[in-house]
């Protein structure tokens, strides 16, 4: 991003490139109109909201999460429950409240407005995010903790808290945020002392980075997965990825419609929580759902964490084939067309052998691994 740190010594303590990287990625992927909306929302947020941090905390562990989504919270609190040390959890929110400090800071630092990025809109958005985040450390001054656990230390606020407490020699821990990873890449933004992941694929890719100094532990996914029964329904379930993959999402929907001309069932579509449904035509051709349906065992998708859960719940899952999924799954579970997919589903389905590489253990076995990890830590 080539972001320039502001001049003050206090702010130069933090790697703002690392903190704002995901924000810049967000605006980089947005349309021109959406970029303007993001800038307006961020400006209003800095002036009219304040974070809901407690005034002080005295605890062995602070569990921090900035993703307010039920699937992430479910994993987070399952892991939180395995820690028997003195602990507190905090889900960050930004309720409405006039923020004069941020407003004055926004005005005072205007000279830095276009020093964050070579593109003016990107720079302005990064500037507003910087103003919002740079005041966060003042809320943490009175915190007395021994360990910080963040849900994903590559996310902006998780990243900032990790940097802040590392400078205070507090041990830091982070979790695996998603289920998929291209085998040729490394997990981004690892700052924490410990990284607790689900399977060896993420561990191996993380350790491929020669600069990784994090202690990586494979502990599994401590969730229980309900098994659906094998069903004769000719229905199709399509869990879509985020709109970053909108072209692939539309291709998968087109293949589902074409396949359905042969198998003649219903098409259940589950959009990503942040998807813009107005970008997708012909929604009346699908049955929209918010969770996996029991009446559609055949599932087709792409790059989404929910796919891991589906495989563990006895759904018959096939992936749209491109460079990313080719590097993850066996060819027998990949498709490029409705004819290709029809040939796949005629065969007896077996769970992909590579699944164990992505999740080493689940349920009580994984929960025990997390419990033992926390028990080993000195407080």
How far apart are alpha carbons 173 and 238 in whole angstroms? 34
Tokens 């830095």 correspond to 112
pLDDT at 226: 83
DSSP letter at 354 equals T
Comparing 54-91+143-224+362-379 with 236-353, is the CATH topology the same?
A: yes
Residue 310 confidence (pLDDT) = 87
Please report the pLDDT score of residue 98 as a whole number: 97
Across all residues in the chain, what is the average pLDDT? 90
pLDDT > 70? residue 189: no
Question: What was the pLDDT predicted at 186?
Answer: 56
Q: What are the structural domain ranges in the chain?
A: 1-52+94-137, 54-91+143-224+362-379, 236-353
Q: Tokens for 65? A: 């999460």
- At 360, is the secondary structure helix, strand, or coil? coil
Q: What's the average model confidence in pLDDT over 338-342?
A: 93
Lowest mean pLDDT among 52-56, 59-63, 186-190, 198-202: 186-190
What is the C-alpha to C-alpha distance for residues 63 and 157, in angstroms, rounded to an integer? Answer: 13
Residue 10's CB is within 10 A of a number of other CB atoms, namely 9
Has residue 305 got a pLDDT over 90? no
Separation between Cα atoms, residue 27 and residue 32, nearest integer Å: 9
pLDDT at residue 21 tops 50: yes
Q: Where is average pLDDT lowest: 27-41, 114-128, 199-213? A: 199-213
Q: What is the pTM of this model?
A: 0.85
DSSP per-residue codes, 261-325: HHH---EEEE--TT--GGGSS-GGGSEE-SS--TT--EEEE-S-THHHHHHHTT-EEEEE-SHHH
Cβ(283)–Cβ(160) below 8 Å? no
pLDDT of residue 270: 94
Q: Assess whether pLDDT exceeds 50 at residue 7.
A: no
Average pLDDT over residues 314-318: 92
pLDDT reading at 180 higher than 90: no
What is the CATH architecture assignment of 54-91+143-224+362-379? 3-Layer(aba) Sandwich (3.40)
CA proximity to 153, closest of 181, 176, 180:
176
Which band of pLDDT confidence, cut at 50, 70 and 90, is reported for residue 9?
very low
Position 194 confidence tier, pLDDT thresholds 50, 70, 90: very high
Fold (topology level) of 236-353: Rossmann fold (3.40.50)
Q: What pLDDT, on a 0 to 100 scale, did the predictor assign at position 8? A: 46
């Amino acid at each position: 991003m080539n972001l320039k740190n502001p001049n003050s010594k206090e702010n130069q303590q933090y790697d703002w490139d690392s903190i704002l990287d995901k924000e810049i990625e967000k605006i980089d992927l947005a349309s021109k109109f959406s970029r303007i909306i993001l800038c307006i929302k961020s400006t209003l947020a800095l002036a009219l909201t304040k974070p809901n941090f407690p005034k002080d905390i005295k605890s062995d562990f602070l569990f921090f999460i900035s993703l307010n989504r039920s699937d992430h919270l479910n994993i987070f609190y399952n892991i939180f429950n395995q820690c028997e040390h003195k602990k507190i959890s905090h889900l960050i929110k930004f309720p409405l409240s006039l923020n004069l400090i941020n407003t004055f800071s926004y005005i005072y630092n205007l000279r830095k407005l276009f020093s964050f990025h070579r593109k003016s809109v990107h720079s302005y958005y990064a500037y507003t995010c910087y103003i919002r985040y740079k005041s966060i450390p003042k809320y943490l001054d009175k915190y007395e903790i021994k360990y910080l656990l963040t849900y994903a230390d590559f996310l902006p606020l998780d990243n900032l808290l990790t940097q802040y407490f590392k400078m205070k020699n507090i041990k830091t821990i982070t979790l695996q945020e998603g289920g998929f990873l291209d085998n040729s890449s490394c997990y981004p933004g690892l700052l924490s002392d410990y990284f607790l992941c689900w399977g060896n694929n993420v561990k191996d890719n993380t350790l491929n980075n020669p600069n990784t100094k994090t202690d990586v532990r494979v502990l599994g996914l401590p969730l229980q997965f309900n098994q659906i029964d094998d069903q004769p329904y000719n229905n199709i379930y399509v869990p879509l990825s985020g709109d970053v993959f909108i072209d692939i999402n539309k291709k998968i929907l087109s293949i589902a419609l074409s396949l359905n001309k042969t198998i003649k069932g219903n098409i259940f579509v589950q959009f990503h929580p942040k998807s813009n449904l107005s970008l997708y035509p012909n929604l009346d051709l699908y049955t929209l759902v918010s969770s996996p349906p029991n009446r559609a065992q055949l599932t087709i998708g792409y790059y989404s964490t929910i796919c891991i859960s589906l495989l563990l719940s006895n759904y018959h899952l096939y992936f749209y084939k491109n460079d990313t999924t080719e590097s993850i799954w066996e060819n027998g579970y990949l498709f490029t067309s409705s004819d290709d997919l029809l040939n796949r589903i005629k065969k007896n389905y077996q769970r992909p052998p590579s699944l164990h590489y992505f999740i080493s253990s689940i349920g009580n076995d994984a929960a025990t691994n997390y419990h033992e990890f926390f028990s080993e830590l000195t407080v």
